[in-house]
Amino acid sequence: MDLPSFLWLWKIAAWSMGLSIAAYFLLALTGIWMFRARKSRRGRRVFARSLHWFLGGTLVVLVLLLLGIGIVGTLGHYGTLGHSVHLWAGLSVVALVLFSAWSATQIGPRQPWARPTHVTTNVLLFCTLAWVSWSGWTVVQKYLP
């Protein structure tokens, strides 16, 4: 397919990636807010928890959108997948985001492993988001004149 016909797709991808990174950092802030409230034994912060869940769901949707765009764009341009490390970086981000979302649903007094698993997954996700951003930038350079 002709690259200019995919320009709108790349714009959606760029916005989605930017919003994903913003959502990640807002999730970190609300997570720290909830951690501090829990450690100081103040009342539950329902607003922070609700916002955290909303942002987490938003991140899941954005990452799945990016996965779809990446598959469609790459197949449309090359006809096959796997032309760069960006595929593995992207799949790693998708896996970590989905695992993080699942582990979040497990957090509670009966599963003490869930919270540290969720936090550790999100630290790994930070590194993987950096990797996918770097590899995505190198892919974008191939498309620019």
pLDDT score, position 1: 45
State yes or no: pLDDT of 8 exceeds 90: no
What's the farthest any 2 CA atoms get from each other in the chain?
59
**How many structural domains comprise the chain?**
1
The model's pTM:
0.88
pLDDT score, position 37: 84
Determine the Cα angle at 56 with ends 91 and 138, to 5°: 35
Q: Which DSSP letter does residue 94 get?
A: H
pLDDT score, position 43: 65
Per the structure, the complete domain to which residue 76 belongs is given by 3-143
State yes or no: pLDDT of 62 exceeds 70: yes
